[in-house]
Structure 1
Amino acid sequence: MSELLSFTGPANPAQHAREPVLVVMHRRESQPGAVGQLLRAHGHALDIRRPRFGDPLPASLDGYAGAMVFGGPMSANDPDDYIRREIDWIGVPLSEGKPFLGICLGAQMLAKHLGATVTPHAAGHLEAGWEPIHPHDQTLGPWPSHVYHWHFEGFSLCRDSVRLAAGEVFENQAFRHGSNAFGLQFHPEITLAMIHGWTVRGAAKLAHPGAQNAKGHIESHALHGEKLRAWTAHFIDTWLKSADRREAAPDLQRAA
């Protein structure tokens, strides 16, 4: 069953009139973290759906401000029906020109929908922890020097997609497709509480090559967390204004 989380701050009629944002998540315990906090601060309720557990996805985003697909431990290459349905469904926000954001797995799903490939690191590395990021586009800045990761796979870019930032472990870290669809390989939603939870539940994974230890995740958050939060606030402002209702972004159907 989907969840509708509303903004519960001071009464503001203009805020309460704003359209909700559709949020797709992949674990029962997952929450949208800092990104959800920022959306609710803008007055947007969050319609949280978990297709993995039977929640349907709407046939249209009419009445929504936009849609976001978050991460999870699964792969965009998995054969599960809900994975294929989610990848195909991304065509809805693309065809309607609604703001769309894919985070980690969600970015890989967007790339796959557009015909790009999703593959593991050549050396089998897990990129987990805070790593440097190298901006290619300053309109979404000011960028932090480091962003937070937790993933085994990365994505290529299809034609018509624009790289916005690169990394040292996985090259493609942020991209835009059209004016309204964005993919981020890193986790802008991360909070200190989430880092504690992820490093405890995923402790065994931190033994993989490339992963930082739990202490490093927590200590680096003290150095880089606020800068990532500031960038995310600026990005969410830009993203909410990115709807292209005059001409929907090109939707290249994913390869069969």
Structure 2
Amino acid sequence: MRINVLQHTPDEGPGMIADWATRHGHALYIYHPYQFGQLPTAAQTDLLVILGGPMSPNDDLPWIRQERDLIKALMATDTPIFGACFGAQQITKTLGYPITKAPAKEVGWAPVYRQATVIPDLPATLNVLHWHEEMFTIPAAATLLFSSEAVCNQGFVLGHRIVGLQFHLEPQVTNVREMVVNDHAYIAGSVLGQTAADILAAPIPEATQTTLFKILDYLTN
């Protein structure tokens, strides 16, 4: 399987998604459209992963619109798509739903709560990394998958081939460090009230990898 990853900033890479790909013997190709303007074709894609980034789907940039063209083409062929943060927002924007300011800016570690059991064996509560102040609207045909105390729309599943999460399951310890040291100014104003040191000191729960792998297995089985 060829997994095409769309990365949108140097400090938010595929993390544990790469571990899942290696475990299953899949080929991982990482694109940086914000820098190089390159995107894969739909024909080259067996699984599309759309990562986070500091931009908004509401920004009027050619590569952002081109990403949505790719998403639309993959939806037409029932190709699996996984989106994290900006990536999840891009999916719902492609479907015609608005991206808006969230009720609260969330940056740091906080729990999300499972809202549906359509993907088997996901934990009822999961402590995850948040790094956002915008949110997606849940598509009418989708199922709400996770919510947090501050933001209801934290995850959705659409059919058996699309999952979008507002939060991050993919970062490993070094990825979290990379996000914090490069983007620590963004922490200010978060409702979670955590400092850069607080975020760095928090251990990554084992359940984040387990949950991520179950979601990717669900999309590709």
The TM-score normalised by the length of structure 2 is 0.91
- The whole-number CA distance in structure 1 between the counterparts of 2:110 and 2:11 is 26
- The whole-number CA distance in structure 2 between the counterparts of 1:140 and 1:147 is 19
Match of 1:23? Answer: 5
Q: Alignment partner of 1:145: what SS?
A: strand
Match of 1:148? Answer: 129
From the superposition, tell whether residues 121 and 142 of structure 1 become closer, same or farther in structure 2 (CA, over 3 Å). closer
Deviation at 1:225, TM superposition (A): 2.1
- The whole-number CA distance in structure 2 between the counterparts of 1:178 and 1:233 is 18
- The whole-number CA distance in structure 2 between the counterparts of 1:22 and 1:169 is 32
Q: Alignment partner of 1:121: what SS?
A: strand
Match of 2:201? Answer: 219
For 1:166, give the aligned amino acid.
S
Match of 2:150? Answer: 169
- The whole-number CA distance in structure 1 between the counterparts of 2:36 and 2:178 is 25
* Runs of 4 or more consecutive aligned structure 1 residues displaced over 3 Å after TM superposition: none
- The whole-number CA distance in structure 2 between the counterparts of 1:201 and 1:157 is 31
From the superposition, tell whether residues 117 and 176 of structure 1 become closer, same or farther in structure 2 (CA, over 3 Å). same
Deviation at 1:142, TM superposition (A): 2.9
Kindly report which structure 2 residues correspond to 1:113-132, keeping only aligned pairs within 5 A, or say none.
113-122=94-103, 125-132=104-111
Match of 2:116? Answer: 137
Where structure 1 has 5 or more consecutive residues not aligned to the other structure, the ranges are: 1-18, 242-256
The counterpart of 1:54, out of the listed 36, 58, 62, is 36
Match of 1:45? Answer: 27
More displaced 10-residue stretch of structure 1: 105-114 or 161-170: 161-170
Where structure 2 has 5 or more consecutive residues not aligned to the other structure, the ranges are: none
- Residues 39 and 236 of structure 1 are in contact (CA less than 8 Å); yes or no, is this contact kept in structure 2? no
Q: Alignment partner of 2:205: what SS?
A: helix
Deviation at 1:140, TM superposition (A): 4.1
- The whole-number CA distance in structure 2 between the counterparts of 1:99 and 1:154 is 22
For 1:131, give the aligned amino acid.
A
- Deviation per residue, 1:138-191 (Å, 9 max, x gap): 334332521111011111112111111111222111111222011111111111
CA radius of gyration, larger in: 1
User: Which protein is richer in strand relative to its size?
Assistant: 2
Kindly report which structure 2 residues correspond to 1:1-256, keeping only aligned pairs within 5 A, or say none.
19-28=1-10, 30-61=12-43, 64-122=45-103, 125-138=104-117, 139-143=119-123, 144-211=125-192, 212-220=194-202, 222=203, 224-241=204-221
RMSD: 1.8
- Residues 59 and 92 of structure 1 are in contact (CA less than 8 Å); yes or no, is this contact kept in structure 2? no
More displaced 10-residue stretch of structure 1: 188-197 or 138-147: 138-147
The TM-score normalised by the length of structure 1 is 0.79
User: What percent of counterpart residues are identical?
Assistant: 29
Q: How many residues align?
A: 218
- The whole-number CA distance in structure 2 between the counterparts of 1:218 and 1:209 is 16
Q: Alignment partner of 1:199: what SS?
A: helix
Deviation at 1:30, TM superposition (A): 4.1
- The whole-number CA distance in structure 2 between the counterparts of 1:181 and 1:39 is 17
